[in-house]
Amino acid sequence: MPTPIRLGIVGFGIMGERLLRAALEHAPDYVVPAGVWDPSPQALARLAGVPGGPPMLPSAEAVIAACDCLYVATPPAAHLPWAEAALAAGRALFLEKPLATDLPSARAFVAAANGARAAVNFPMASSPAVAQLATWQAGMTPASLAIEVAFATWPRGWQQDAAGWLARRAEGGFTREVVSHFLFLTQRMLGPLELLEAAVTYPAGDDAAETAITAALRAGSVPVTLRGGVGTTAQDDHNSWTLNGAIRLRDWSFAERLQDDGAWAQAPGALPNDRMRPLVLRDQLRAVAAMTRGEEHRLATLREALAVQEMVEGMLKPAPRRPG
């Protein structure tokens, strides 16, 4: 087996901690955490609570110097500065989405990074449930797709520490944070995306993120409908991706198929998302190691992530519809 690659982490919020724990507990054969940097005292305390975790280094530059691949898990406004610094230093790059807070910067970055060892963290690239959907889809002709996302509150309960940016229109909102994953899945499964129309609702009087969205798209030749809203479910987070009304991905990790009696049946071995996530991140990290060594992988490419961001920002661009 190849020597594990050294992984550095810049930004130690929820996603940084999740990936670090997955690296330590599930992927030591593939990656060795080399160091973390985050200026927040809360991040330092969080890192201290991770058994066997790497040191908090004095700067992002120190993390870049210590690693083979840099994972950038900061809020979106800081994505490009550290991504560009990593690539300039000859490091591989694993980046959270969105690429940037504006499309011109994202486009310029992707054009400049052409050929670089770089990928974006869309975990559905390594999801067993998605692999099951692909197997089922092979036996059908795609004709329609429905995407639905719903939240009790936004940000979700476990994201409240990041509400300072997740709840704001400039960087946050559930369309960027959650819908983007299902757009990535859609273009992987069905083909390039085209936005036909969209309507978005924002709270009146402030810069808060959207509370509802509807959109019509096309993926290849397949019509796609999207509906999302806050306060539309009692669950923290509920979602579904339903193809032909016959197969679906539900709540991130359940691959299900419609039976003759009208009931949905889960694929064998299905697990809830809290149990599936570490296994998915393990396989993401295995692919990160392959990408860092210049080998083939199935991680989301920069161009795939840019296509998703183009769709997201296109949907959020229409004149907002106010409540009431």
**pLDDT over 70, % of the chain:** 98
Give the pLDDT of residue 320.
47
Q: Are 245 and 169 found together in one domain? A: yes
Query: Which CATH number goes with the domain that contains 19?
Result: 3.40.50.720
In a domain, 322, yes or no: no
In a domain, 321, yes or no: no
Q: Looking at residues 303-311, what average pLDDT do you find? A: 98
Q: Are 267 and 134 found together in one domain? A: yes
Dist CA 85 CA 22 (whole Å): 25
Structure tokens given for 324: 């009431």
Q: Are 160 and 91 found together in one domain? A: no
Q: Are 296 and 209 found together in one domain? A: no
Per-residue pLDDT of 134-166, as tens digits, reads 999 998 999 999 999 999 999 999 999 899 999
Query: In the predicted model, is pLDDT for residue 87 greater than 50?
Result: yes
In a domain, 196, yes or no: yes
Burial class (CB in 10 A: 0-12, 13-18, 19+), 157: exposed
Per-residue pLDDT of 244-298, as tens digits, reads 999 999 999 999 999 999 999 999 999 999 999 999 999 999 999 999 999 999 9
Q: Are 26 and 90 found together in one domain? A: yes
Give the pLDDT of residue 1.
81
Q: Are 145 and 266 found together in one domain? A: yes
Burial class (CB in 10 A: 0-12, 13-18, 19+), 154: buried
Give the pLDDT of residue 318.
57
Q: Are 133 and 171 found together in one domain? A: yes
Dist CA 85 CA 316 (whole Å): 29
Give the pLDDT of residue 60.
98
Per-residue pLDDT of 168-194, as tens digits, reads 999 999 999 999 999 999 999 999 999
In a domain, 13, yes or no: yes
Residue type, 100: A
Q: Are 58 and 11 found together in one domain? A: yes
Of residues 311, 306, 307, 314, the one with CA closest to residue 100: 306
| Alpha helix stretches (DSSP H) within 257-320 | 273-292, 302-316
Domain with 25, as residue range(s), is 5-123+278-301
Give the pLDDT of residue 204.
84
Per-residue pLDDT of 90-105, as tens digits, reads 999 999 999 999 999 9
Q: Are 38 and 141 found together in one domain? A: no
- Average pLDDT of the chain is 96
Per-residue pLDDT of 61-86, as tens digits, reads 999 999 999 999 999 999 999 999 99
Q: How confident is the model at residue 205 (pLDDT cuts 50, 70, 90)?
A: confident
In a domain, 250, yes or no: yes
Q: How far is CA 150 from CA 49, 135, 180, 293, in A?
A: 32, 27, 14, 39
Q: What is this structure's pTM?
A: 0.95
Give the pLDDT of residue 319.
47
Q: Are 178 and 252 found together in one domain? A: yes
Give the pLDDT of residue 36.
98
Give the pLDDT of residue 139.
85
Structure tokens given for 178: 């959650």
In a domain, 323, yes or no: no
Instruction: Give the count of domains, the chain.
Output: 2
Query: In the predicted model, is pLDDT for residue 322 greater than 80?
Result: no
Query: Which CATH number goes with the domain that contains 256?
Result: 3.30.360.10
Q: Are 131 and 155 found together in one domain? A: yes
Q: Are 186 and 72 found together in one domain? A: no
In a domain, 324, yes or no: no
Is residue 57 within 8 A of residue 36, CB to CB? The reply is: yes
